[in-house]
Every structure is written in structure tokens, then in C-alpha cells.
Amino acid sequence: MAEQRQYASCVVGDLLVGIRVEEVQEVTSGAELTPVPLAPPLVSGLLNLRGHIVTAIDLRRSLQAGDRPPDARPVNLILRADDGGVSLLVDQVGDVVEVDNDDFAAPPPTLRGRLRELIAGAYKLDGKLLLVLDTEALLACSTGQLS
């Protein structure tokens, strides 16, 4: 029997992105962000989460998925990180998806640029492709350590 993995799914532009469930702390929405002068472009600001300051990274910018429509409010997907939480701003949060490890495939060759650097692989779902986010690479990218 194949080993199962669980991913929290979210929508970013027209992409379906999966993040390992064990990395997700919580989901929030409607929080105000405080801008950070001179921050890398992927950092949208800081979020006060019950007294803890959390860096908010716009996943649309990170994955080069275009700008969010002005009337669309992002959802905060809070990840556990070594130095506290990190918020990923996504368009929509979906269900937890359970997949077989044997179905994991390398990133599709059609992915280009930064998107290719940040996607660890993919799973084929019913009519969709779940792109697995490499959160370590994302955090390195958001601090300017990747191109």
C-alpha cells in the first residue's frame, strides 16, 4: 500500500497549490498589513497575529501569477516557521487533499522562471494539477537569497 501525504490546497491565480498540512498553523482573513519600508518585493507587510508579528508574503508575486484584482481580499495561510509564523497571501483556501506518494511527479517542464524554482513537484488530480510548494525555497526567495 502506498504511503499517503496530505496537502492544504489553495488557489493562487489559476494555479492549484499544495502545502504540506504539517506546515500549516491556521487560516485567517481580513487582517490589516503594516507596510515594511525597503522590504523585498515579495513581502507585502507585517501582520499582528494575537500579539505575534508575522511576515506576509504574497504568493501571487512569488509565483509570478499576476496582480490580484483590486476588489479581491487575500486569505492568510499561516505557516509554522523556525523564527515564528509566516503568512502566505493566497486567493482562496481549498480542502485538505490526500494523495499517494507514488503519484508524485517532477515539476512539469512547462513551468518557467521562479515558478520552477518554487515548485517541488506535482500530483495529477481529477482534471487539475496540484503543484507542491517548496516552502523552504519560498522563504529563501522572499529574503532575496534566490534570483
Q: CATH number, domain at 112? A: 2.40.50.180
Check residue 30 and report its DSSP letter. S
Q: 76 vs 31, 91, 100, CA distance in Å? A: 8, 9, 27
Give the strand pairing for 52-58 and 84-90: parallel
CA–CA dist 44, 59 (Å, integer)? 10
Enclosing domain of residue 48: 4-142
Q: Domain count of the chain?
A: 1
> In angstroms, what CA-CA distances link 62 with 6, 49, 100, 112, 113?
23, 22, 27, 13, 11
Domain assignment present for residue 78? The answer is: yes
Domain membership flag for residue 56: yes
pLDDT at 47: 93
The reply to whether 134 falls in a domain is: yes
On whether residue 113 sits in a domain, the answer given is yes
Which residue numbers in the chain have pLDDT < 70?
1, 143-147
Does the reported pTM lie above 0.85? yes
In a domain, 147, yes or no: no
Residue 58: inside a domain = yes
Q: What is the rounded distance in angstroms from the CA atom of residue 131 to the CA atom of residue 141?
A: 17
